[in-house]
Amino acid sequence: MSIIVRIPTPLQKLTKDQPEVKAVARNIKELITDLEKNFPGLKERLCDEKGRIRRFINIYVNEEDIRFLEQDETALKDGDEVSIIPAIAGG
Amino acid sequence: MSYVKGLKCRECGRTYPKEPLYVCEYCFGPLEVDYDYEKIKKVLTQKEILSRPKNLWRYRELLPIDGRPTDGLDSGFTPLIRARNLEKVLGVKELYIKDDSVNHPTLSFKDRVVAVALSKAKEFGFDTVACASTGNLANSVAAQAAVAGLKRYIFIPADLELGKVVATLIYNPILVAVEGNYDQVNRLCSEIATRYKWAFVNINIRPYYAEGSKTYGYEIAEQLGWHAPRHIIVPCAGGSLITKIWKGLKEFYKLGFINKPDTKIYAAQATGCAPIVTAIKENSEIIRPVRPKTIAKSLAIGNPADGVYAVGTVKESGGFAEDVSDDEIVEAIKLLAQTEGVFTETAGGVTLGVTKKLIEQGRIPKDESIVVCITGNGLKTQEAVTEKIGKPIKIKPNLASFEECVRPKGG
C-alpha cells in the first residue's frame, strides 16, 4: 500500500539522491507528514511557516494540479503518482 | 568581461553561483541574475549605446553573458511606430506601437530571449537546447539553434496553430506535440529536464533567458528619446515580459539614462485565460490557475510562473488590468491592420483590445503617452481571422467581368 512521489532535483539531497520515493497517506497533508518522517527537513522546504504549501511549488496527483482538486485535502489511494514540481516559466 | 555577480532568489534573497540553476533550493522561489551595477555604470553610457549596431546586444552589459554575444546578432531594435491613424480612432493624443511582429529572425519578441538563452547555453557548454512552447518560442529556438548548430528538442501542445508548427518544423528540430495544454507540456518538460542534460531555455536557463525581455523596455525608452512613456500595455502569458519591461525601465533610471519612470504598466489577457488579470481585479495575493479556452493560444498559460510578479509590477506602477473576448481580439487585430498596416497575431489583438477598453473606461487618460506592446506576427495565426475578413472578388480575365463584379465607383 503506497504512493509514488517524484522528488524535484533541489530536494533530492534530502531523499539520499532518490528521484522517486514511496509514501503512505490518505491525502496530500498526510503525504507531507509521512515524507517528513522518512526524510526529515522536507516539510519545511515544501511548506511555509504557516504550514501552507509554498506558492512556487506545484503538486500534481496523477498529472492533475491539486489546485483543481481539493488542494492539500486531495485524497490519495494506493498506486497514485504524486509529482512535486517547482513553477516554471512560460513560452 | 562579466557584470554578473551570480544568481539570487527573488523570494528569500539566498545567493547562488552562475550556473544553470533556476529555483531556490530552499524556498523554491525563482532565481534572478544579480548584476554589479556600479561596474556597469562605469562602462555603459548613452553615447556608447548609440555608437553600437541596432540590435539588442547594444545593451550587452545589462545582459547575463560573460563573453561576446554569439546568437541573435540581428535580433531586437524593432520599430517604435507613432500610430497616428489609431490615435484618431481611439481619440488619444500620443500612441505608439512597439512592433516585435517584425523581430528577426522569427517575427516575435521571443527572438530576444532566445538570443540571450543560446549565448548563455553555449557558455555553459551545452550541445542540446530544448523548450516548452506555445509557438513563438518554438519558432525562435528551432531557428536560432539551427544557426548555432545545436541539437534541438521542442515541445508544444498538440493543438497549436498550423502556422506555428510549420514555422518550427522548417528548421528541422525534433518537434514533440504533446496531447495536452501548455501547462501540461510544461509539467512534462520539467520532469524531462531533470533526466537529460539539456539547456531547457525556459527551465534551467530561465534566469538568463528571461533577461532578454528587458531589451524590449530599454528600446521603448531609447526610441522615445530616453524617456519612459506614461502608460505601457503588455500581453501576459507566464507573466515574465511585463516584469522585465518594468525592470528594464528601473535599470535605465538607476544608470541615469532616464528620469524616474512615471509609467503605469497594464496587464492584458484573453477572457478565456486571465489568471493574472483576475488576481489584479480582485486584488488577490494568490493566482488561481485556470484551464485556458481562447484563440490567443500564445497567451494560453493557465498557471503563470511569474504571475505574482506580474501582479506586483502592475500594483507598484499604479496600472491596472483588463481582458477581452475572442471576438474583441479579432476586431482589434483588424483595427491595427487597417489603421497602421501591422498584422499582429492573437496576442497583439489582446493587447490592443485591452488598450481600447482601458481608454474607454477612462483608466488611461487620452492626453498622455501610451505604448502598446505588439509582440507577434499575424501570419502565424491566420486561423483566427480567416473567416472574418471577407473573400477576394473572383472575376473572369476580361474588362466586362471586372466592371460587372467589382463596380468601381466614379470610374
CB within 8 A of B232, min separation 6: which ones?
A: B220, B245, B263, B264, B265, B266, B370, B371, B373
How far apart CA B24 and CA B16 sit, in angstroms, is: 8
Rounded to a whole number of angstroms, the distance from the CA of A91 to the nearest CA of chain B is 5
Between the alpha carbon of residue B210 and those of residues B112, B215, B247, B294, B408, the distances in Å are 9, 10, 11, 25, 52
Identity of the residue in A54, A58, A89 whose CB atom sits nearest the CB atom of B306:
A89
Cβ of residue B145 closer than 8 Å to a chain A Cβ: no
Contact B303 A58 (CB under 8 A): yes
Residues 180-239 of B with CB under 8 A from A: 182-184, 186-187, 189-191, 194, 201-203, 206, 209-210, 237-239
Q: Are B96 and B229 in contact (CB under 8 A)?
A: yes
Domain ranges of chain A: 3-86
Q: Are B278 and B314 in contact (CB under 8 A)?
A: no
Between the alpha carbon of residue B371 and those of residues A60, B87, B234, B254, B257, the distances in Å are 39, 11, 9, 22, 19
Nearest alpha-carbon partner for B139 in B380, B408, B309, B391? B380
B83-111 burial, b if ≥16 CB within 10 A, otherwise e?
A: beebbeebebebbbbbbbbebbbbbbbbb
pLDDT for the residue B411? 53
Per the structure block, which three cell numbers stand in for B394?
A: 473572383
Cβ of residue A49 closer than 8 Å to a chain B Cβ: no
Rounded to a whole number of angstroms, the distance from the CA of A1 to the nearest CA of chain B is 25
Contacts of B25 in chain A (CB under 8 A): 10-11, 13
Contact B189 A91 (CB under 8 A): no
How far apart CA A56 and CA B52 sit, in angstroms, is: 39
Contact B203 A89 (CB under 8 A): yes
Q: State whether residue B250 is helix, strand or coil.
A: helix
Query: Residue B331 corresponds to which amino acid?
Result: E
Q: pLDDT digit string (tens) for A45-86?
A: 999 989 899 988 999 999 899 989 999 999 999 999 999 988
Those residues of chain B that have pLDDT short of 50 are none
Cβ of residue A83 closer than 8 Å to a chain B Cβ: yes
Pairing of strands A64-65, B231-235: unpaired
Contact A90 B23 (CB under 8 A): no
Cβ of residue B301 closer than 8 Å to a chain A Cβ: yes
Nearest alpha-carbon partner for B64 in B209, B201, B203, B202? B209
Nearest residue of B to residue A67, measured between CA atoms: B289
Q: With bands split at pLDDT 50, 70 and 90, how would you rate the model's confidence at A9? A: confident
pLDDT for the residue A90? 64
Contact A60 B134 (CB under 8 A): no
Identity of the residue in B26, B134, B190 whose CB atom sits nearest the CB atom of A45:
B26
How far apart CA B387 and CA B390 sit, in angstroms, is: 7
pLDDT for the residue A91? 63
Q: pLDDT digit string (tens) for B245-298?
A: 999 999 999 999 999 999 999 999 999 999 999 999 999 988 999 999 999 999
In chain A, the largest separation of any two C-alpha atoms, in whole Å, equals 39
pLDDT for the residue A89? 67
Contact B289 A67 (CB under 8 A): yes
Rounded to a whole number of angstroms, the distance from the CA of B253 to the nearest CA of chain A is 27
CATH entry, A3-86, from 3.30.930.10, 3.20.20.140, 3.40.640.10, 3.10.20.30 = 3.10.20.30
Between the alpha carbon of residue A80 and those of residues A33, B76, B152, B183, B220, the distances in Å are 17, 47, 33, 20, 50
- Strands (DSSP E) found in chain A: 3-6, 20-23, 57-61, 64-65, 81-86
Q: Are A69 and A61 in contact (CB under 8 A)?
A: yes
Contact A56 B28 (CB under 8 A): yes
Q: Are B181 and B394 in contact (CB under 8 A)?
A: no
ipTM: 0.85
Identity of the residue in A57, A83, A91 whose CB atom sits nearest the CB atom of B202:
A91
Nearest alpha-carbon partner for B137 in B209, B198, B55, B239? B209
Cis ω before B105 (30° cut-off from 0): yes
pLDDT for the residue B363? 98
Cβ of residue B338 closer than 8 Å to a chain A Cβ: no
Rounded to a whole number of angstroms, the distance from the CA of B1 to the nearest CA of chain A is 28
Q: CB pairs below 8 Å between A and B: how many?
A: 95
Pairing of strands B4-9, B15-16: antiparallel
CB within 8 A of B217, min separation 6: which ones?
A: B244, B245, B246, B247, B248, B249, B252
Nearest residue of A to residue B157, measured between CA atoms: A91
Tell me how crowded residue B291 is: count the other CB atoms within 10 A of its CB. Answer: 13
Contact B132 A8 (CB under 8 A): no
Cβ of residue B131 closer than 8 Å to a chain A Cβ: yes
pLDDT for the residue B128? 98
For residue B337, count CB atoms less than 10 angstroms from its CB and return exposed for 0-12, middle for 13-18, buried for 19 or more: middle
